[in-house]
């Protein structure tokens, strides 16, 4: 995953860059808006982390230019607390999320991961897993051309596992994900849903229990 960082505060930029690299992202970094814009126009990046107040061209202008060029790259704004109007303008102009300075570097990583997950999910309208095909728009699951009936909760859990394939999901994470679809449920009932999913999908899935940690849908 390749990230472009445009931030004119060199100390902050270097710290973010180091943190991203520690988390296995490759990073290009510019302290200047014009140079950063040129780079994002001419190279491919999975995500842009963008300061708003920049020399030569400001962050808002960069977002406008990218969206005018129909670039769908996810954009995370990082801005000072007193730039609230700018931040709102940034989101209106087409940024995806923002972080207020000062922030913890771990928070940057968390936002980056969430944005990357979301963009991968949105660009993949259909996700194939073994002999299953999941349509992310219609929220339907098919096996060899036949629809598989899952309840709303089962589907929400399976969708979450599928988007995060090869990642352990805790029961709490699973509950959090499905709470938007239904009334709140207790983490202990996740087991029941998982066992129903296993029963319905059988050999098509490799859904393991990571003891004490949660569940993992393995791609192997």
Cα(218)–Cα(121) distance, integer angstroms: 17
Eight-state DSSP code of residue 129? E
Which residue, among 182, 40, 92, has the nearest Cα to 174 in the 3D structure? 182
26 and 5 Cβ atoms separated by less than 8 Å: no
Minimum distance from residue 49 beta carbon to Ca ion (Å): 12
Residues that bind Ca ion (CB under 5 A): 8, 51, 53
- The Cα–Cα gap between 197 and 153 comes to 10
End-to-end CA distance of the chain: 22
Query: Which residue lies nearest Ca ion, judged by its C-beta?
Result: 53
Smallest separation, CB 8 to Ca ion (Å): 5
For the bound state, the minimum distance from the C-beta of residue 78 to Ca ion, rounded and expressed in Å, comes to 9
CA distances from 215 to 53, 155, 188, 204 (A): 43, 15, 13, 16
Q: Are 49 and 69 in contact (CB under 8 A)?
A: no
Compute the distance between CA of residue 135 and CA of residue 139 in angstroms, rounded to an integer: 5
Residue 27 · residue 13 · CB < 8 Å: no
Taking the complex as a whole, how short is the minimal distance between the CB of residue 102 and Ca ion, in angstroms?
13
Q: Output the smallest distance, CB 90 to Ca ion, in A.
A: 13
Q: How far is the CB of 107 from Ca ion (least distance, A)?
A: 18
Complex with Ca ion: residue 51 or 154, whichever CB lies closer: 51
- Interatomic CA distance for residues 57 and 110, integer angstroms: 28
């Amino acid at each position: 995953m390749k990230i472009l960082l445009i931030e004119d505060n060199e100390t902050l930029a270097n710290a973010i860059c180091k943190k991203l690299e520690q988390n296995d992202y490759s990073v290009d970094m510019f302290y200047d808006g014009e140079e950063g814009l040129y780079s994002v126009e001419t190279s491919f990046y999975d995500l842009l982390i963008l300061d708003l107040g920049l020399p030569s061209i400001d962050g808002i202008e960069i977002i406008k230019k990218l969206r005018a060029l129909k670039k769908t790259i996810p954009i995370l704004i990082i801005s000072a607390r007193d730039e609230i109007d700018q931040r709102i303008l940034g989101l209106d102009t087409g940024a995806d999320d923002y972080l207020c300075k000062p922030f913890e570097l771990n928070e940057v990583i968390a936002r980056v991961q969430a944005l990357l997950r979301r963009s991968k999910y949105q660009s993949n309208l259909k996700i194939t897993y073994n002999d299953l095909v999941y349509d992310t728009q219609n929220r339907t699951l098919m096996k060899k051309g036949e629809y598989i009936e899952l309840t709303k909760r089962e589907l929400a859990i399976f969708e979450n596992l599928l988007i995060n394939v090869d990642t352990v999901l805790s029961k709490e994470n699973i509950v959090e994900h499905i709470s938007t679809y239904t009334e709140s449920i207790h983490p202990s009932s996740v087991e029941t849903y998982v066992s129903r999913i296993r029963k319905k999908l059988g050999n098509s899935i490799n859904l393991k229990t990571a003891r004490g940690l949660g569940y993992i849908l393995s791609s192997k």
